[in-house]
Chains A and B, each alone.
Chain A
Amino acid sequence: MTAAPPAIALREVHKSFGATKIIRGVSLAVPRGQRHAIIGPNGAGKTTLFNLISGRLATTSGTIELNGVPVDGLPPHKINRLGLARSFQITSLFHRLSVFENLRCALLWSRGYKYSFWHLLGRQHALNAEVERWLERLGLEDRRGVPAGLLSYAEQRALEIGVTIAGGAKVVLLDEPTSGMNRGEAERAVELISEITRGKTLIMVEHDMNVVFGLAEIVTVLVYGQIIASDVPARIRANPAVQEAYLGTKAA
């Protein structure tokens, strides 16, 4: 029996902007259901990698597969429909729409509404009930009518995660989900992420090591566009190459 294809498979992916090489040959396989973190110093290319996987950028060379289906070159909405969702480092919401509307929009495509102009949204009881459930899970029931642009930062990050996952994508990419949060907020966010992504494949870019080591099963370290290590958190912590990349060479 053949094994299920990995959720995400990158093979020899290169990305250059003009003459500048950002991603220099990355190969990575993330099996289904795994919780995977990508860490690395600033400028390593983590967000670029996300952009490549999610279709925001095209690869210069190399292939990317989602559940065995090649996706490089596809526009982002097609990749999303194949089951991949991502959040953004800088919150990306529909700022003039209310919290409720944001979540509802995130559900529309996956619930089959497509470009319909004959379904009155007020009457879609199943859809609206589901939005209510999401509001509760995110802790945003009291803010449902507030335009997303007016929420507090932490509320926006929570909504961002909600909008990313509500559509039911099985592969979720979170780009620095706890950035800008204090300890308490980050802990709550981690709880939320951990509960919401149960059974899904999660790939996370993070700088907060507590979050990484708390959530991730496998950690990949990206430095200057190349993977220098990919292992369980404990061994990554002890890896000398990783320590050097972050801290410089050990004092003799």
Chain B
Amino acid sequence: MSAPEAQIGIAERRSTRLPTILRGGWPWLVVLAIAILLPWLFFDWTKGRHSGFVLSLMSQMGLMIVFALSYNMQMGQAGLLSFGHAIFLGLGGYFTIHAMNAIDAGALWLPVELLPVIGGLAGVVFAIVIGYIVTKQRGTAYAMITLGVGELVSAAALMFNGFFGGEGGVTANRVLPTSIFGLGYSAGIQVYYLILAWTAIAVALMLLLTQVPIGRMANACRDNSERAQFVGYDPRLVRFYQVALSGLFAGIAGALYAINYEIVTFDAVNAVMSANALLMTFIGGVGVFWGPMVGAVLVTLLQSWVSLLSNSWLVYVGTLFIVMVIYAPGGIAGLIMAHRPFWEARRLSALILPYLRIVPPALVAVLGFVGLVELCTSATIGSHQGKALQLFHHEIDTSSPQAWVIAAALLLGGLLVTRYQSRVFATTWSTLTAETAQGATRQ
């Protein structure tokens, strides 16, 4: 290559370096833009008001995104299954809510916008203390010891009223006089943008932490703890630092929790909240950075929206969880990313027809399942509560066999057809994979 040509080569490489950052990062900007603009989609222009429900839902999604991502720092990135992650969220929340009360009483001066710093500090300090103990173990023993410590802390939260406020928890007012921007945060939209800002900061930081030595070595220790030792690293310390960092962000999520709900009870610290983190992260996908974000959004949606329609939203989440454990352990993100080779080879369209063949029967099966669950719930719990089952304002008689038979038929029929179609789909998928791989090597 002649000198001028070499120069051009270098210049090309330099000029593509800057835009690459933007080119690689544009999906994040799109998501951020959507998050900023979405509430306005639900703005009631006649009354000049935001939808309180939507704002509350999106605020919750924001803090759950931070919580789930922090959980994945342990689960997906370090291979640590924790049953006590809510400790850090809860303690972060408790410390923040006490700080809020202190600000209100004039005993502490801190801008409202910086409250999550308190939560983060509480989270990281406790993660250091507790993490030092629990990271002596890994694998199943780690899961067990986090379960034990989690139970201890949540029981303490019920017992010791001084700090934890007992069963009633601790409340505070987020309308405080120390806002940097002079905002009152009584309006839902202001709370949402505050949460969104901190969510964005937390996501960005956690993303960067996957690109630093400790993040990479956490992955390495997850894959092969022994080999990590033989490149000079103490896996126990790697686990410890990773847990400490994950506690930091869980604490920030806890602070957002306190600001959002203006109350923190032992619900924020107990096993159910820890299980929530596990569910969101796993369903979303542990192998991809943004997987837990998808999971947090989806589970929060199911929790807030479906729970309005049905008492059994937990059954649906649980079933989804089991189905994913068996058939899609990579979660939703894993499923999406599995299509990447096809997208890159521009063969994705070959899957449209197969999907059209398999999705409808699957939906029918889901419909049948939902029907059966609702009938069952209504017949037992619902009748206790005197509620009748309604479908599009049409009351359904749960004692007659009609509804049951229809639901069961939908479920069975849907399952059978789905099962047949899934075999066809699998064949198409593997053929397509082979073709794509061949095409790639030919290039």
Contacts and interface: CB of A to CB of B under 8 A. Distances in A.
Contact of B216 (A75, A80, A105): A105
* Interface footprint category on B: 20 to 34
A94 B218 CA distance: 11
B223 interface: yes
Contacts of A119: 212-213
A56 B211 CA distance: 30
Given A75-B234, A94-B219, A120-B208, A114 B213 contact: yes
Given A97-B223, A115-B214, A85 B233 contact: no
A121 B214 contact: no
B224 A92 contact: yes
A76 B226 contact: yes
Interface in B211-248: 211-217, 219-220, 222-224, 226-235, 237-238, 241, 245
A80 B229 CA distance: 8
A164 B226 CA distance: 12
Nearest to B245: A117
A218 to B, nearest CB: 24
B211 A120 contact: yes
A54 B230 contact: yes
A110 interface: yes
Nearest to A168: B232
Nearest to B235: A77
Most chain A Cβ neighbours within 10 Å, of B215, B228, B241: B228
Nearest to A102: B220
Given A92-B224, A97-B219, A115-B241, A109 B212 contact: no
B209 interface: yes
B234 to A, nearest CB: 5
Given A94-B224, A95-B223, A115-B237, A108 B230 contact: no
Contacts of A17: none
A149 to B, nearest CB: 8
Contacts of A81: 232
Given A93-B224, A95-B223, A96-B223, A117 B232 contact: no
Contacts of A86: 230
A155 interface: no
A75 B229 CA distance: 9
Given A97-B219, A115-B237, A76 B229 contact: yes
Interface in A150-193: 163-164, 167
A96 B222 CA distance: 9
A224 B233 CA distance: 34
B224 A108 contact: no
A117 B209 contact: yes
Interface of A: 54, 56, 75-77, 80-81, 85-86, 88, 92-97, 101, 104-106, 108-110, 113-122, 163-164, 167
Given A105-B216, A117-B213, 12 more contacts: A77-B228, A77-B230, A80-B231, A92-B227, A94-B227, A96-B222, A97-B220, A101-B216, A117-B215, A117-B241, A121-B212, A163-B227
